[in-house]
Amino acid sequence: MDWTDTLLDRLAANHSREDVEPYQVTARIARVGVHIAHRQEEAFGRFRLNRGEVGVLGALLLAGSAQLSPTQLFKGLMLSSAGITSRLDRLERAGYVKRTRHPKDRRGVLVSLTGAGRKIFEQAFEADLAGEKDLLTALTRAERRSLVSLLRKLLSALEPPEPAV
């Protein structure tokens, strides 16, 4: 029995097992997400970054030499425009991103990753990777492959097939 079983046993007092059955999956995914978030915040915090900032740096890294607009970033990262602005402000002050005027839209801005931003992303990524591997040690290689397949199937019903950024 895990925490979710205990919770669902309590809920079953007022709801049928069939009614609460979706929580067998969703509550566990949510709790795993909390554990992942905690480990990532701990790893990234060593570099004075948070998960959201690392997400922005990663999106810019994956864009290659292309510059992205704040709109492309917040849509791709599923953030609000205010959320991306505060992250960009902090990352720019740290010297990890650079904002320049859009050449064709005088109201627009383009964001690019600096050399320092690339370096700090790689360091933060490496620090987090050990924690990600550790998180999955309870599963065999075959179980991880099976879980990947199931999660991919679930996410494909919820998200477009290609990342927005």
What pLDDT is attached to residue 135?
A: 92
Average pLDDT over residues 21-40: 93
Average pLDDT over residues 126-143: 94
pLDDT digits (tens, 9 = 90+) for 75-88: 777 777 777 888 99
Q: In terms of Cα–Cα distance, which of 150, 155, 30 is closest to 163?
A: 155
What pLDDT is attached to residue 164?
A: 55
CA triplet 145, 150, 156: central angle to 5 degrees? 120
What pLDDT is attached to residue 123?
A: 96
| 163 vs 50: which has the higher pLDDT | 50
Residue 59: pLDDT over 60: yes
pLDDT digits (tens, 9 = 90+) for 93-102: 999 999 998 8
CA dihedral 67→45→83→107, nearest 10 degrees, is: -30
Q: In terms of Cα–Cα distance, which of 78, 42, 61 is closest to 120?
A: 61
Whether 96 and 48 have beta carbons less than 8 Å apart is answered as no
What pLDDT is attached to residue 163?
A: 58
Residue 159: pLDDT over 70: yes
Share of residues in the chain with pLDDT > 70 (%): 97
What pLDDT is attached to residue 105?
A: 80
pTM as predicted: 0.80
Residue 61: pLDDT over 60: yes
Structure tokens at 144: 């991880």
| 140 vs 7: which has the higher pLDDT | 140
- Mean pLDDT for all residues in the chain: 89
Domain ranges of the chain: 1-45
